[in-house]
Every structure is written in C-alpha cells, then in structure tokens.
Amino acid sequence: MPRPLDNVEPVPSAVEGVEAGAPVDRAESPARAGDTEPDESPVVLSIRNLSRSFGDTVAVNGIDLDVRRGSFYGIVGPNGAGKTTTLSMVTGLLRPDSGTISVNGLDVWKDPAKAKKTIGVLPDRLRLFDRLTGAQLLYYSGVLRGLDGRTVRARVKDLASAFGLEDALNRLVADYSAGMTKKVALASALIHSPRLLVLDEPFESVDPVSAANVIEILQDYVANGGTVVLSSHGMDLIQRVCDHVAIIVNGEVLDAGAVDDVRRDGTLEERFVELAGGRKAAEGMEWLHSFSD
C-alpha cells in the first residue's frame, strides 16, 4: 500500500545515520548525508521584491527570499509583522501589489493551476468544511487534487494512522477539538504529496504529544525530498527543528539564513528580540514596584 509521501522525489539530504521517520533534533544533527548540501539544492520557492499594502498600512515591504529543496524553513516575527500576509501571497490566496513568487519554477500568479498543484497549505485561519466527517474531508481534499478514489482511500487510512485520527474519521469535523482540527487540516494538505508545504502556525492549539508526532512526520517528509516553510511564535521549536530561518519585522526581512548563522552566539529568541526592539516594555514603569500596600 503506498504511503502518502511516497511520490516526493528523494534528494540526498537525509540526516545521516537516522532511520526514515525518526525524529531529528536539528541542533544535535546538523550534518546531512550526500554530496549535495541544502544550500546547493535547487530553489523551490523564490520570492522577489514582494509587497502588499492594505490602505495606508504597508504589510509587506519588498521581501526577497529563496527556499531550497529539502529545507525546513522557519518564518518568525512579532504579531503584525507580515508573516501571514507573505505566506498567503506565496500560496496564491492573496494577490501581491508587486513582486514575483516562483514555486518549482512556476509563477504562482501567471501559472496558478500548475504552481498550486505542487503546494500543500495549512492557513492561519482555518476554514474547513466542518459539516463533513474527517474521512469525507480528507477524501474530498484528495479528489479535489486530482487523485483517483482508490489512491485517496489508501492515503486517508495512512494519514489517519499517522496523525492518530482513526477514531475520529467518522465524526463531524465541527465536533473536533482545536488540536484535532489542526491535524486533519495538515493531513488534507499532505494528501496529494506536495513538493512544498506551507504551514502558518501549525502547532497552535496542538498538545505536546501531537506536536511531537507532527514534527516527526514533517521531518520524514523533508528527509525524503519535501520542503517545509512554516511560521511559528515558538522560537525554541524553530531553533531545534528548522535548518533555515527568516526574521520579519514591519514587513521586511531583517535577517535570514542558516539558523546557526542568524542566531550567532546566542539563542534564536535573543536574536529575534534584538531585531524586533524588545526588552523595553517595562521602561518608565518604576511605579509598578511601589506596591499599593
């Protein structure tokens, strides 16, 4: 029986000495096997001079990014930094004011049908057909992506097992918890075995055990040639799991590259706070220490 991710073209970037499917701590296992390093792999996602405004508010201001095949790429930034707007434009959900987005060599806005076939999407604000059961939603997602019924049914079974959804398949998605809803949405994004997976806050409302399970699935996906771009507020998670990161503040990329290069001698959180202008919240609030009693 084929697995949902079997059609992803393998690349020689699997983590050396780690069995496929095993969780990988990037901080402990930075080396990748094979002759091709991630920075030499083909560019899967290319963003050039991307901009978007809402009225007088500039949400994204001239962003440039390259994401290579086999990367686990994190996007971080404070609330309102432009992360969701950027990812919405990347996946064809929001038209940019200017700039270009290329996925696997295809312009997302000039050749949307072909480009979107290679993308799996988990948006920030989930809008699922929640009057369907989990099984119906996954089946619909697969057929919508052009898969035949037999293949879809096999992949639904595999994905349900991988995400721990077997007992929930026959329940309405409307009755799912927030974490289960996130998992079935991620399963829907994976069912057509995309080459690029774009995830906006995939671990929000997901319990730690389920999050570890999802990370393992994503690491297996990346090790076998897939590419993940995700946004998250969890700096520790990004530093531990991702190999590359971009820090976006006020709609601009202030730093991007390999995680170890971006964080320098400190943690990723310390570097993020430095660039985002943090550590100033308590200035001028000495009165707070006077106490009312």
- Domain positions in the chain are 43-277
Tokens, residue 291:
């106490």
Question: Residue 226 carries which DSSP code?
Answer: -
Q: What pLDDT does residue 170 have?
A: 95
Question: Using one digit for the tens of pLDDT, what is the confidence trace for 197-209?
Answer: 999 989 887 888 8
Mean pLDDT within 89-93:
93
Backbone angles phi, psi at 119, to 5 degrees: -115, 135
Rounded CA-CA distance 90/100 in Å is 9
* Beta bridge partner(s), residue 47: 65, 101
Mean pLDDT within 112-125:
90
Band of residue 39 on the pLDDT scale cut at 50, 70, 90: low
Band of residue 16 on the pLDDT scale cut at 50, 70, 90: very low
Beta strand segments in the chain, E:
43-54, 57-68, 72-76, 98-103, 106-107, 119-122, 196-200, 227-231, 244-249, 252-258
Between the alpha carbon of residue 78 and those of residues 35, 181, 247, 270, the distances in Å are 37, 25, 9, 13
Band of residue 227 on the pLDDT scale cut at 50, 70, 90: very high
Question: Using one digit for the tens of pLDDT, what is the confidence trace for 124-154?
Answer: 777 788 889 999 999 999 999 999 999 999 9
Residue 140 neighbours by CB under 8 Å, 6+ apart: 129, 132
Band of residue 293 on the pLDDT scale cut at 50, 70, 90: low
Q: What is the CATH number of domain 43-277?
A: 3.40.50.300
Q: What pLDDT does residue 130 have?
A: 83
